[in-house]
Amino acid sequence: MSEPHRPPASGTHPHPRFKALFQSFDDIADGAEGPARLAGLRAELARRGLDGYVIPRADAHQNEYVPDCEERLAFLSGFTGSAGLAVVLAETAALFVDGRYTLQAPAQVDATAFTVVPLAEMSPEKWIEDHLPKGASLGFDAWRTTLDGRDKLARAVAAAGGILAAVEDDPLAAVWTDRPPPPRGAVRLLDLAVAGEETGAKLRRVREALAAAKVDGLLVSDPHASAWLFNIRGADVAHTPLPLAWAIVPADGPPLLFLEPAKLSAEVRDALEAAAYVHPVSHLDDALGAFARGRRVRVDQATCPVRLAGLIEKAGGTVDKGADPIVLLKASKNPAEIAGMRAAHLRDGVALARFLAWFEAAAPAGGLTEIDAVEALETFRREAGELTDVSFPTIAGAGPNGAIVHYRVTRSTNREIRTGELFLLDSGAQYPDGTTDITRTLAVGAPTAGMRAHYTLVLKGHLAIARAVFPKGIAGAQLDPFARQYLWAAGLDFDHGTGHGVGAGLSVHEGPARISKLGHVPLAEGMILSNEPGYYREGAYGIRIENLILVEPREVEGAEKPCLGFATLTLAPYERALIDLALVDARERAEIDAYHLRVREALAPYLDGAARDYLVSATQPL
């Protein structure tokens, strides 16, 4: 991929030049419609003889970002978060959200229709046990519910004395009459120089894993896995270059790939047919049934729908529940993927430097809004070159909005960025060769002593993760306290994980590894994760500092096991005005200075004017 483009002479632009092409600020759902839509759904459930229904925020593949036609939970409730679940009964309905959305969800839904329940307080299963009447039938979506999800529901419904019923045709269709059509994004081939490995070589590694698991084949239900295996990308969902697809990989013989024909050009079809039998999705049932007969088929319990697992069993096959081996193979990036990620971060760093220079000048002058900042940052990224999308809707929270962990600015919530406040900016980009994700917390005017103290405690935890060295076999859960130790010592914490996996030109949130209390997969060389501790003072401000980090080998004298550590990929200065030097020790000062020197040396050749001046100033030694 090319180097970042040279900047315009000034490095900044007046507001009219800024425009967001890859994200919207419209309110994509309306909680005020919740009561009427809920009444319509209840009428349809009654017509079907169901006493309740479970609506997950999911599509058939369990994607984080789903097509517009699959935004069922947003349509019904008004809640637009990327994770959640609703349980609707005849007299009551509950919306379950995690710690990221405990402020957002109550602001979006109609409280007369839905009770918002934080998962930290109660699980959906416990709520069902407490609220489902004895003898009542609770429906669940067989296409959008995984095997593990079904099993949890079954235990809860049994404990309540009810009946669990699988539903294959969506009852919401009776209410959602103007539902958007399914996506038909064109599929493109990934250049081998970016992918780093041909499909044939990847297939051999997958088959080795299948042989070790003693299974006859694999049902690939996660489109990210199909995209990686067949070196393809698509445009079926927002912010992740995914083609929605299914695949069957036999232990021997050519794989089968199921895609809508309208997505394939003749060139792409020819290339895919050299490695697989390519079929329309409508052929999946027959092909899976024929393949499964008498065979043991691995299905990933995290993404496989109940509907397809049931089809395997009905055909006389055996369902082998376990992780799709592609998930772990994909997580460890090869040298070409790592080179692409480094190139993407260089391009992104140039865009961030230009944005930060502009922001430093524009914000104190007043009148700047959250949307202005989002549009400016996307514009600078496009000018840096080859931006194909943002990797998620930018989180741009001014003042108290920054305390909403996954805040999404809309025209109705858009807030002015005011002097004396903090501005939390969490954003990312998709480039042809890589994916980025970065958070910086910025001070507008003079920060308070409390802001500086809290920022510095977060930064100290961020640095502790970045410098960590650990024996091979250590999982993210064991590293997570490194990021929290300084906050804990002050009686503080944050309600999200410290880091998630990141794909190479794929999803910005990728499993299976993560740095969190729930991160139990050992970290391995080539994995890329985020490092993003935070602190959130409700009604006042939010602080988060995020870089992407690469797991790589470390030489440790006297070590009895191979050791690993992290290399930081992100290139952007920390906010010097928020660093309380009385709270950082000599080692931390040296780490900050060394990182800033690396940022300056990497980005300065591509900057001039105000952007270069900003970079030099922002990266001076502490």
What are the pLDDT digits (tens) for 461-507? 999 999 999 999 999 999 999 999 999 999 999 999 999 999 999 99
Identify residue 271 by its one-letter amino acid code: A
Say how many C-beta atoms besides its own lie within 10 A of residue 158's C-beta.
12
Quickly tell me which residue has 């959008």 as its tokens: 144
The residues of the chain scoring below 50 in pLDDT are 1, 6-14
SS3 state at 456: helix
> Could you give the CA distance from residue 225 to residue 206 in angstroms, rounded to a whole number?
11
Q: DSSP secondary structure string, 161-230?
A: T-EEEEE-S-GGGGT-TTPPPPP-PPPEEPPHHHH-S-HHHHHHHHHHHHHHHT-SEEEE--HHHHHHHT
Would you give the DSSP letter of residue 400?
A: G
At residue 590, the pLDDT reads 98
Quickly tell me which residue has 């002479």 as its tokens: 9
Strand-pairing partners, residue 220, are: 247
**How many Cα atoms sit within 13 Å of 449 on the Cβ side?**
2
**How many Cα atoms sit within 13 Å of 39 on the Cβ side?**
5
What does the CA dihedral 605, 609, 610, 616 come to, rounded to 10 degrees? 40
Q: What are the φ and ψ backbone dihedral angles of 146, each rounded to 5 degrees?
A: -80, 170
At residue 527, the pLDDT reads 98
- Give the H or E element holding residue 452: helix 449-467
Residue 344 token pair: 């993407």
What are 118-125's contacts with CB under 8 Å, separation 24+?
A: 120/495, 122/96, 123/96, 124/54, 124/85, 124/87, 124/94, 124/96, 124/156, 125/152, 125/153, 125/155, 125/156
pLDDT in tens, 429-466: 999 999 999 999 999 999 999 999 999 999 999 999 99
Helix, strand, coil percentages, rounded to 5, for the chain = 40, 20, 40
pLDDT in tens, 231-279: 999 999 999 999 999 999 999 999 999 999 999 999 999 999 999 999 9
* 158 in Cβ contact with 130 (< 8 Å): no
Q: DSSP secondary structure string, 525-571?
A: TT-EEEE--EEEETTTEEEE-BEEEEEEEE--TT-SS-EEEEEE---
At residue 4, the pLDDT reads 64
Where in 83-134 does DSSP place strands (E)? 85-89, 93-97, 115-118
pTM for the complete prediction?
Answer: 0.93
Residue 581 token pair: 């030097």
At residue 36, the pLDDT reads 95
> Could you give the CA distance from residue 93 to residue 68 in angstroms, rounded to a whole number?
23
> Could you give the CA distance from residue 482 to residue 467 in angstroms, rounded to a whole number?
10
**CA nearest neighbour of 454 among 542, 377, 371:** 542
SS3 state at 80: coil
For the packed helices 476-489 and 449-467, what is the interaxial angle rounded to 10 degrees?
Answer: 150
Q: Are strands 296-299 and 277-279 parallel, antiparallel or unpaired?
A: unpaired
Q: What domains can be seen in the chain, in order of their start residue?
A: 31-174 (3.40.350.10), 188-330 (3.40.350.10), 332-616 (3.90.230.10)
